Amino acid sequence: MSTRTDFSYTLTRTLDAPVDSVWRAWTTPERYERWAYTAPGTVEMDVRPGGAWKATVVTPDGGEFPLTGSYLDVDVDRLLVIGMDVPGRTEPSAMRVELDADGPRTRIVVRQSCDTAEERDGAEQGTALLLDSLAAFLADGTHG
């Protein structure tokens, strides 16, 4: 029996890059650091089901927040389910990142369920900023 109320969001974008480039941007620490608002040298990724990740996010005002978690599901070039550790909770918060090829472009869908409307609104806003930054990173042509 779940007492969780569904406070979820879904964001969809079409990115001007092939699926494999988008995948590498999400799963390669050096690339992820270039667009995901992280402190240099703080990203670690073991991209496999059960593999751990960590990163320190830097806020616009210079605050730093260490984040940790694990990969709950991995299907190369198609799906990443990223578990994020939440203080005080036994279960991670999960973010689902789905990729679909659209010719030379990629359709990305990000979904997340949260515990409160406030948490959802913050997570959705943060994810929208991440997707904007990812789109800019992929558009600059240096993502490899």
Tens of pLDDT, residues 87-119 = 888 888 899 999 999 999 999 999 998 888 998
For residue 142, the model assigns a pLDDT of 63
**For residues 74 and 77, what is the distance between their CA atoms, to the nearest angstrom?**
9
> Mean of the pLDDT values across residues 55-59?
92
**For residues 33 and 41, what is the distance between their CA atoms, to the nearest angstrom?**
8
Residue with tokens 């198609």: 78
3-class secondary-structure state, position 117:
helix
Q: Please state the pTM of the whole predicted model.
A: 0.90
Q: Which domains does the chain have, with CATH numbers?
A: 7-137 (3.30.530.20)
* Residue 135 dihedral angles phi and psi, to the nearest 5°: -60, -45
For residue 2, the model assigns a pLDDT of 46
Beta bridge partners of 53: 45, 69
Residue 1 has pLDDT above 50, yes or no: no
Instruction: Evaluate whether 59 touches 67 at the Cβ level (below 8 Å).
Output: no
Going through the chain in order, the beta strands assigned E by DSSP cover: 7-15, 44-45, 52-58, 64-75, 79-84, 93-102, 105-114
Beta bridge partners of 57: 38, 65
